[in-house]
């Protein structure tokens, strides 16, 4: 596979700061990760279009949520933070009904590399009306959004266009809102397109029918979207939702303000459950259950298939590591945990195969090609496929005679967090640019150190 632009950037950039996780036997303990990024940004968007104050408790404070908050503030929404950012009071009544730059130009919104923010706001702001230019970091301008803008264009009173080759951001919107019609969108690149359209529908003030063409990836995230919308008063009806396709009808009623509790982030929790699996320890994650809104709690069932013991309680999930078995699994619905799984698979007794995640190439980095490149630095054999990876376990899993490795993160928070777990068994694993976890989990390495009960080694 050719190198992605982010891979070339990682190879050409000197990232001086590294962190090394020190091996030390079984990892056991309890932890509660911060609030879910996915739920926080969905709740923020629904709250911004309500007519009074909503209070969001348990919110995530990170780069991804901060760029959403700053964008809301730039178009007039009042967002007040409390409890070190874990409580957000959002007053949608202050939002400009048809926002535009006072000088008659476009309001410029900087999105950094937050896929949820740019996709959700692109849909919602086009439905609300106004003139906007949404841009981000160079990698964001490589991440396709053309399918979303193409879905919006037929119902838009105005224009919407992408400004980079391949239908990538920046996105320029000049809109008077949506007119009546059926919205059609492809489902095989990112479920965030569908989620963005769903959340935009009540903003349009019209009953909207959304038809997904072809396979829908990461289906649990769409179900999460519907649940958050309903909590803010939206009416979401699944006309069809099965293995062959899905179609939704969303009523014209507007969002209403509410007090909303946000779950801990299940994707973040996967790293701690994986730490137990890799080391044979026992880790309990508080605040999540089998019935959690986030599909990524399904990662625990993957670990169970690999031989781990999994115990579910009303408000916690506990994983105990056992002898790990290599498995063949479809991770389409929990694709944000593929990198975590790949590191666990290094310490299994036989090869593992991941399927159904071809769309991972279009995330913050190429999470198939770039992941394979870094795992090979640990001595693993990794084969890329169109829809995933095959991972052959390390021959020497004890770390004896392993000379260490410095692993690139490609400015991808999930690469940093997942690859660091290899250091629980292998000495000398150094993670470049650990600060990139600020995107969704600024305190990750602090929380991991607290769980381990021993310090990491930082170099700069």
Active-site residue, selected from the candidate residues 64, 91, 336, 412: 336
Say how far apart CA 44 and CA 35 lie, in whole Å.
Answer: 13
Q: What 3-state DSSP class applies to 153?
A: helix
Indicate the DSSP class of residue 421.
Answer: G
364, 410 Cβ separation under 8 angstroms: yes
Q: Which are the contacts of 10, defined by CB distance < 8 A and separation ≥ 6?
A: 370, 408, 409, 410, 411, 432
CA distances from 124 to 73, 94, 107, 332 (A): 15, 17, 15, 26
Q: Is 336 a catalytic residue?
A: yes
Q: What 3-state DSSP class applies to 146?
A: helix
Say how far apart CA 122 and CA 114 lie, in whole Å.
Answer: 12
Q: Which are the contacts of 231, defined by CB distance < 8 A and separation ≥ 6?
A: 43, 46, 258, 260
Say how far apart CA 411 and CA 393 lie, in whole Å.
Answer: 26
Q: Which residues pair with 430 in a beta bridge?
A: 20, 406
Look up tokens 């008659």; give the residue. Answer: 104
Say how far apart CA 136 and CA 115 lie, in whole Å.
Answer: 10
58, 262 Cβ separation under 8 angstroms: yes
Say how far apart CA 272 and CA 426 lie, in whole Å.
Answer: 17
Indicate the DSSP class of residue 26.
Answer: -
Q: Which are the contacts of 14, defined by CB distance < 8 A and separation ≥ 6?
A: none
Q: Which residues pair with 87 in a beta bridge?
A: 57, 82
Q: Dmax over Cα atoms in the chain, in whole Å? A: 66
C-beta neighbour count of 397 within 10 angstroms: 16
Catalytic residues: 336
């Amino acid at each position: 596979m050719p190198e992605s632009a982010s891979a070339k950037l990682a190879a050409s950039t000197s990232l001086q700061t590294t962190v090394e996780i020190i091996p030390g036997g079984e990892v056991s303990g309890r932890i509660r990760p911060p609030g879910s990024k996915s739920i926080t940004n969905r709740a923020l968007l629904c709250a911004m279009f309500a007519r009074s104050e909503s209070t969001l408790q348990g919110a995530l404070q990170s780069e991804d949520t901060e760029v959403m908050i700053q964008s809301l503030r730039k178009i007039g929404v009042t967002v007040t933070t409390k409890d070190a950012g874990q409580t957000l009071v959002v007053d949608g009544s202050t939002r400009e009904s048809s926002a535009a730059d006072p000088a008659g130009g476009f309001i410029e919104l900087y999105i950094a590399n937050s896929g949820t923010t740019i996709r959700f706001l692109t849909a919602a702001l086009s439905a609300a009306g106004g003139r906007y230019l949404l841009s981000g970091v160079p990698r964001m301008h490589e991440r396709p959004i053309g399918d979303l803008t193409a879905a919006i264009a037929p119902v838009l009173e105005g224009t919407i266009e992408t400004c980079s080759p391949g239908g990538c951001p920046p996105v320029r919107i000049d809109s008077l809102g949506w007119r009546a019609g059926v919205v059609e969108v492809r489902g095989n690149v990112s479920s965030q397109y569908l989620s963005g359209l769903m959340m935009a529908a009540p903003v349009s003030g019209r009953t909207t029918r959304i038809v997904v063409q072809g396979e829908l990836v990461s289906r649990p995230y769409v179900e999460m979207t519907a649940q958050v919308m309903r909590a803010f008063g939206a009416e979401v009806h699944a006309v069809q939702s099965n293995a062959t396709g899905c179609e939704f009808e969303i009523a014209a009623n507007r969002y209403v303000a509410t007090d909303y509790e946000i779950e801990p982030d299940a994707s973040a929790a996967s790293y701690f459950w994986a730490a137990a699996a890799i080391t044979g320890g026992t880790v309990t994650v508080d605040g999540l259950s089998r019935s959690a809104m986030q599909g990524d709690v399904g990662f625990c069932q993957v670990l169970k298939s690999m031989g781990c013991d999994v115990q579910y309680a009303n408000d916690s999930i506990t994983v105990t590591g056992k002898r790990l078995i290599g498995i063949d699994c479809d991770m389409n619905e929990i694709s944000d945990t593929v990198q975590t799984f790949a590191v666990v698979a290094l310490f299994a007794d036989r090869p593992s195969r991941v399927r159904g995640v071809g769309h991972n190439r279009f995330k913050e980095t190429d999470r198939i090609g770039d992941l394979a490149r870094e795992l090979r630095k640990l001595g693993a054999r990794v084969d890329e496929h169109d829809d995933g990876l095959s991972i052959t376990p390390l021959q020497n899993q004890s770390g004896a005679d392993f000379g260490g490795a410095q692993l690139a993160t490609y400015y991808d928070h999930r690469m940093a967090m997942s690859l660091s777990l290899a250091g629980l068994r292998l000495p000398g694993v150094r993670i470049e640019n650990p600060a990139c976890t600020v995107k969704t989990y600024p305190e990750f390495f602090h929380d991991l150190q607290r769980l381990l009960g021993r310090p990491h080694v930082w170099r700069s």
